[in-house]
Amino acid sequence: MLREIVSTLESPEASRSGNFLLAENEHALLGCVYVEPCHLDSNRSAAESEERAYLGLLAVDPGAQQSGLGSLLMDAAEDYCRALGLRFMDIKVVNLREELTGFYGKRGYVETGTSAFPTEVETKLPCHSSICRNRLMQWQASDSGRVKVRYHKISFQESGRGLNTEGVG
């Protein structure tokens, strides 16, 4: 399934282009998140569009949930966008997933509006998407004036159900 999504996003006719950040151990994919720098659209100025990213498709394997992996994936996605010079992260949250409001709220995301749920997706209950935005705080520059970015290799220890992160680059 993931390969199909990546292939679709990389196809020449795809109107969007972004990247998946993956969390895996030596045996399996444990989670992923999609990040896409926003392109100019008719509702935003060029400057506002260039400063934003869209985050979506955050998913964590059920066996790895409640271990902090979702937060680590969010940290990695936000770090990735900061490294690109982006200042804001937008997400859409389905209103039926009430537990997600608290998760994203603790990370600084606030609702800025709503949008209709795609009509081509059949749902059992009426729903809409809440549009949320977070201002990505910039890191302090080092003496050389450059921002240092640390990406994380995320691994999952099955024996202790804990997470290890190893700085990369």
Residue 8 lies in a domain: no
Please indicate, yes or no, if residue 85 is contained in any of the structural domains.
yes
How many domains, the chain?
1
Q: Is residue 115 part of a domain?
A: yes
Report yes or no on 2 lying in a domain: no
Domain range for residue 109?
Answer: 17-138
What span, in angstroms and rounded, lies between the C-alpha atoms of 52 and 29?
A: 28
Tokens describing residue 101 = 């409001």
89: left (phi over 0), alpha (psi -120 to 50) or beta: beta
- Measured CA to CA, the distance from residue 84 to residue 60 in angstroms comes to 25
- Does residue 67 lie within any of the structural domains? yes
Q: Residue 71 maps to which CATH number?
A: 3.40.630.30
Which tokens hold the place of 50?
Answer: 């260039």
- Whether 52 has a pLDDT exceeding 60, the answer reads yes
| pLDDT tens digits for range 13-40 | 344 578 889 888 888 888 999 999 885 4
Does some domain include residue 132? yes
Residue with tokens 């009509």: 119
Assess if residue 89 is contained within a domain: yes
Buried/exposed 64-90: b ≥16 CB within 10 Å, e otherwise = beebebbebbbbbbbbbbbeeebbbbb
**DSSP 3-state assignment of 88?**
strand
- Residue-wise pLDDT for 95-151, tens only, equals 999 889 889 999 999 999 999 998 998 999 999 999 999 999 765 444 333 322 233
Q: With beta carbons less than 8 A apart as the criterion, state whether 81 and 33 touch.
A: no
Q: Are 150 and 167 in contact (CB under 8 A)?
A: yes
d(Cα 32, Cα 77) in Å, to the nearest integer? 10
For residues 55 and 93, the answer to whether their CB atoms sit within 8 Å is no
Q: Is residue 36 part of a domain?
A: yes
| pTM of the predicted protein model | 0.69
Q: Which two tokens stand for residue 17?
A: 């282009």
